[in-house]
Amino acid sequence: MSQIPHTSAERPVPTSADVARLAGVSRATVSYVLNGTSAVRISEATRIRVREAADELGYIPHAAARSLRSGSSRMVLLPASPVPVGPLYSRFFNEFQWALRRFDYTVVQYGSLGLSPDEAARAWAELRPVAVVGLGGPQLTAAGIQLLRRSGVKAVITLGPEPVAGAHALAMDHRQVGLCAGAHLLERGRRRIGVVVPREPGLEMFSQPRLAGVRAAVEGSGATVEPLALSYDEESAAALAERWPALGLDAVFAYNDEYAMLLMRALQDRGIDIPGECAVMGADDLLLGRLLRPRLSTVQLDMATGQQLAELVERVVRDPGGEPERHDMMAARAIPRESTQPGRRAPAHT
Amino acid sequence: MSQIPHTSAERPVPTSADVARLAGVSRATVSYVLNGTSAVRISEATRIRVREAADELGYIPHAAARSLRSGSSRMVLLPASPVPVGPLYSRFFNEFQWALRRFDYTVVQYGSLGLSPDEAARAWAELRPVAVVGLGGPQLTAAGIQLLRRSGVKAVITLGPEPVAGAHALAMDHRQVGLCAGAHLLERGRRRIGVVVPREPGLEMFSQPRLAGVRAAVEGSGATVEPLALSYDEESAAALAERWPALGLDAVFAYNDEYAMLLMRALQDRGIDIPGECAVMGADDLLLGRLLRPRLSTVQLDMATGQQLAELVERVVRDPGGEPERHDMMAARAIPRESTQPGRRAPAHT
């Protein structure tokens, strides 16, 4: 245990009333000076006196009070995602933050675990953000959006398959991912396609539309689609590989590259030839998938850039009365590699 | 472009003064009722009138104003990390959020990109959190901590190799990771050890102590340590593999499992036998490392649980005057697998 001198927490927190008293001015004057309201004329001598008093006391204005008085905050609130985020999203999110920063916004991610959508909207509204961008966390309802707008939020942007009344919509249609994968496997002559559906909670919002996309891709072709539950561990993959011969599949779209790497290894360990007996396809185009032998075919997701989303935020904040817009956030395309090559029999692995 | 009816943003945001007017009471009374101050007696009839007026107007109290009046907020502020976080941290962080939620705290992650440590501390203080837990983002200074304490923050907890005056310290000593890896490779008879230092910005805070740990582990043994710059892409790995024979190394600690997988593939593609000619070791114990052949040896990091950290926050908030504490967040241990086996020559891969 180290011995570090520390500031006592018992000293009372200085308020604007303390600053007013020390500077010999009214609380309103303190507020005008420190919150930068330009509408009121205050002499330079008074401004200096107030700032010196604030410094002496260590007074810090409230962000929310300041935003109320100056008419707008520069806080962009993002509900934090309770689902672990992958490297693709991580990169997008950093870029988004930097771009907002260049517009002089501050990003706050709000943890809303265990809150209903409307409770969450109320909690967010209490922080008086100027924009709410729902990339994760509880799905906003029309009522929640109205509540946010009433609290002064100028831009509400939601992400999801369907727009919500009162908000601008970012569409991120994961059916596209399944459509690409299904079309690619069909084109490679595969007819009995397994689709991995991860058992891990929170992934249904991605896995269900991906499955639906594969079904849509094969519709009318005579090919069949078989959902396959899989947990992200070696035991579950080994158990699925054990059942493989009985399933009679000649291809599998494995949800993403990580599940594909897990399942491909288990299939290879059972002596199943990839892609000869079964084609394997992932999604995300991770570097690690390119390191496998056979190299993993995948679906590449192109997300809108963080810069584009930041520009949308800035535009809507400046013109909050415009018609709700809808933007596509994601494009998908198949990247064929060795693991889905037609008529190829790889040499057996040791 | 879809046509969605939306709430006009032009209607003015209702204030507590509007609520007071509608309810026929003072602003102070509105504040007492809506912010739940129990120190003042207010009749039930008045309380109902105020709540009805607030509902009718759609008034939402300010979080910061409420925290000021009720004497404490339940917001725990975490500076958001600008570095992409891995699955290990992601899991820890979710657990931490859930645990804080059970203590009725709300977690806010604050993006502080481009702010100096003291600017960041000021911005955080403006939100009036009850606790600041610096797991990422700008490193707090003693001055920043004092400023936070003065604004009413009861618990300041920093993460890093060294404690900062005025705050409780979480130690996450990445030298431990290098020490484990170095000791394991020595024990396996390796004498010329390469250590991967990623070129990606932001990772120095992990890679430098890991390198120092390997150096400390081999000190006095006669073994040598060679830092190896590597970018996370196939070209960089191929270029390093090309130089490999000239380097004369018999082992490499590759920073983490992902860099290890990348480098091991490049070495295998150059016909270098792993572990016969060179042992390869990662860190993080990712599932994917177990899928490689040879299976990847690694250093497992055991982080303190999110529950333990949440309990520390709660304890310090309840007793903010206590002596600063120091806690170890991480323990490391080697997990030997095939890629560092002594005297083993794996069959060549195709």
**CA-CA distance, A36 to A31, in Å (whole number)?**
8
**What residues contact B324, with CB distance under 8 A and at least 6 apart?**
A2, A3, A4, A6, B163, B166, B167, B168, B169
Superfamily of structural domain B175-302+334-340: Response regulator (3.40.50.2300)
Which of A3, A62, A285 is the mutation pick for testing B, counting most B CBs within 10 A? Answer: A62
Residue A312 identity: L
Which tokens sit at A345? 């029999």
Name the residue ranges covered by the structural domains of chain A.
Answer: 16-70, 75-171, 175-302+335-340
Give one DSSP letter per residue of B204-271, joined into a string. Answer: HHHHHHHHHHHHHHHTTSS-EEEEEEE-SSHHHHHHHHHHHHHHT-SEEE-SSHHHHHHHHHHHHHTT
- pLDDT tens string A190-220: 999 999 999 988 788 889 999 999 999 999 9
| Nearest-neighbour CA in chain B from A94: distance (Å) | 7
Is there a contact between A65 and B66 if contact means CB atoms under 8 Å apart?
A: no
When pLDDT is averaged across residues A334-345 and rounded to a whole number, the result is 85
Query: Which residues of B fall within a CB distance of 8 Å from A150?
Result: 7, 11, 13-14, 58, 60
Give one DSSP letter per residue of A41-60, joined into a string. Answer: ---HHHHHHHHHHHHHHT--
**CA-CA distance, A229 to A259, in Å (whole number)?**
11
When pLDDT is averaged across residues A20-26 and rounded to a whole number, the result is 89
When pLDDT is averaged across residues A276-293 and rounded to a whole number, the result is 94
| Nearest-neighbour CA in chain B from A270: distance (Å) | 13
Is there a contact between A6 and B324 if contact means CB atoms under 8 Å apart?
A: yes
Superfamily of structural domain A175-302+335-340: Response regulator (3.40.50.2300)
Q: Which pLDDT band, with edges at 50, 70 and 90, does A344 fall under?
A: low
Quote the pLDDT of residue B31: 78
Contact between residue B279 and residue B340 where contact means Cβ atoms under 8 Å apart: yes
Q: Find the residue in B nearest to A120 (Cα).
A: B106
Quote the pLDDT of residue B112: 75
Contact between residue B111 and residue A96 where contact means Cβ atoms under 8 Å apart: no
Is there a contact between A82 and B97 if contact means CB atoms under 8 Å apart?
A: yes
| Nearest-neighbour CA in chain B from A49: distance (Å) | 21
Tell me whether domains A16-70 and A75-171 share a fold: no
Q: From 3.40.50.150, 3.90.600.10, 3.40.250.10, 3.40.50.2300, which CATH number describes the B75-171 domain?
A: 3.40.50.2300
Give the sheet arrangement for strand A251-253, strand by strand. Answer: A224-230, A192-198, A251-253, A279-281
Quote the pLDDT of residue A86: 64
Nearest Cβ partner of A151 from B13, B262, B320?
Answer: B13
Give, in words, the CATH class of A16-70.
mainly alpha
C-beta atoms surrounding A143 within 10 Å: 13
What's the ipTM? 0.71
Name the most confidently modeled range: A148-152, B173-177, B334-338: B334-338
- pLDDT tens string B122-161: 888 888 899 999 877 778 889 999 889 888 899 999 887 7
Is there a contact between A107 and B80 if contact means CB atoms under 8 Å apart?
A: yes
Which residue, among A132, A128, A76, has the nearest Cα to A107 in the 3D structure? A76
Contact between residue B287 and residue A236 where contact means Cβ atoms under 8 Å apart: no
Which tokens sit at B331? 């323990």
- Phi first, then psi: what are they for B300, rounded to 5°? -90, 130
**CA-CA distance, A31 to A39, in Å (whole number)?**
12
Q: Is B292 helix (H, G, I), strand (E, B) or coil?
A: coil
Which residue, among A218, A228, A207, A154, has the nearest Cα to A183 in the 3D structure? A218
When pLDDT is averaged across residues B86-92 and rounded to a whole number, the result is 71
Q: Vertex A196, ends B89 and A244: CA angle to 5°? A: 125
Q: Find the residue in B nearest to A287 (Cα).
A: B233
Q: Is B170 helix (H, G, I), strand (E, B) or coil?
A: strand
- pLDDT tens string A144-153: 998 898 888 9
When pLDDT is averaged across residues A37-46 and rounded to a whole number, the result is 74
